[in-house]
Amino acid sequence: MSSRLILLTAAFCTGQCLLVRETVFGNVRGKISTRVPERQVEEYLGIPYASPTIGHLRFKRPQDPMAWKPSVLETNELPPACPQPYISYIDFHKPGFMNFDEDCLYMNIYVPKVDKVALPVLFFIHGGGKVVGMGAMFDGDILAAHGEIIVITFNYGLNDLGFYADPSNGIKGNNGLMDQVLAMKWVNRNIKYFNGDPSKVTIHGHSAGAMDAALHLLSNLTQGLFRNVIIHSCSPFSILALSSCVRTTRVSAIPEDCRHGTSYVYRDEEQDAINKLIEGGAVHDYLTTYRPE
């Protein structure tokens, strides 16, 4: 009987009683949250849903992660947030968090321990104006416990790393949205191993994430990847979504007065910074150079 249960849940317990679950890329080992009295939640923090888009892959479309079979990936700690200029925004939501890295395309999965199968899934897209934020600003364990649903949070590329566009250099732009699409595809392929139902996925976007959630409703790339959408406090037709500048959408070198319907000509040093990013230069140097005082 016990072996049948293991097959049904695709999970088992190690000697330290840390749960191990299967994915198509390899097994992951999580931990148990007991913040809600008498309700346990499995936490799998920092599962890679994409290969690192670093160096010369910086502005390329995200790809599936490399398989780590037969190893077991430890997913017990929050992953790094994507590089961003306003560290205080993260500190407000997650005091003391100081882990930022360009290798940041990870998700967190919160699974309630309940006597039910094929649980519905909430896929949360964080806000932050596409410039700041991270999935783990909001812990999913309490909602998972009380709602008896699986909660997923994740990071996607921000600012210039997620939304820079330069067609003359082959950079199509909107890679942050493509990160989100790939994360949805990961969920569609793997959530059954976490006792989730891939046909009952609701995407919930907050603020700028709401704008993205609405855009996914219009995209052929996400057909069949979710059933419901919660659009929480932003529209895909807002100025934030539609504004553009010459050759780019969101680069922190662009001055603040560049608004919808305007154009801007780079100074030489700003163009040099952009070229260094394209060539694989250190992104932290760029963010430091143009970070507001």
Q: Tens digits of per-residue pLDDT, 201-212? A: 999 999 999 999
pLDDT digits (tens, 9 = 90+) for 102-131: 999 999 999 999 999 999 999 999 999 999
227: its two tokens: 């059933």
Q: How many beta carbons lie within 10 A of that of residue 137, not counting itself?
A: 20
90: its two tokens: 């993260």
Whether residue 232 is predicted with pLDDT greater than 80 in this model: the reply is yes
How far, rounded to the nearest angstrom, does the alpha carbon of residue 104 sit from its chain's CA centroid?
8
Give the containing element (helix H, strand E) for 88: helix 87-93
Identify whether the C-beta of residue 87 lies closer than 8 Å to the C-beta of residue 95: no
The single residue listed with the structure tokens 């390899």 is: 26
Would you place residue 273 in the very low, low, confident or very high pLDDT band (cuts 50, 70, 90)?
low
73: its two tokens: 């990936």
pLDDT digits (tens, 9 = 90+) for 44-78: 999 999 999 998 899 999 999 999 988 999 999 99
- Predicted confidence at residue 277, as pLDDT, reads 65
pLDDT digits (tens, 9 = 90+) for 148-179: 999 999 999 999 899 888 887 888 889 999 99
- Rounded to whole angstroms, the Cα distance separating 146 from 236 reads 31
Identify whether the C-beta of residue 62 lies closer than 8 Å to the C-beta of residue 175: yes
34: its two tokens: 């007991």
Residue 163's contacts (CB-CB under 8 Å, 6 or more residues apart) are 130, 157, 173, 174, 175, 176, 249, 250
Identify whether the C-beta of residue 30 lies closer than 8 Å to the C-beta of residue 21: yes
- Predicted confidence at residue 256, as pLDDT, reads 42
For the chain, report the end-to-end CA distance as a whole number of angstroms: 63
286-291 contacts, C-beta under 8 A, 24 or more apart: 286/160, 286/252, 286/253, 287/83, 287/84, 287/85, 287/252, 290/85, 290/252, 290/253, 291/85, 291/252
Would you place residue 239 in the very low, low, confident or very high pLDDT band (cuts 50, 70, 90)?
low
Would you place residue 236 in the very low, low, confident or very high pLDDT band (cuts 50, 70, 90)?
confident
Please report the domains of the chain, with CATH numbers, ordered by start residue.
2-243 (3.40.50.1820)
Q: Does the pTM exceed 0.85?
A: no
Whether residue 8 is predicted with pLDDT greater than 90 in this model: the reply is no
DSSP 171: B
- Predicted confidence at residue 168, as pLDDT, reads 79
Angle at the Cα of 285 (from 283 to 288), degrees rounded to 5?
Answer: 110
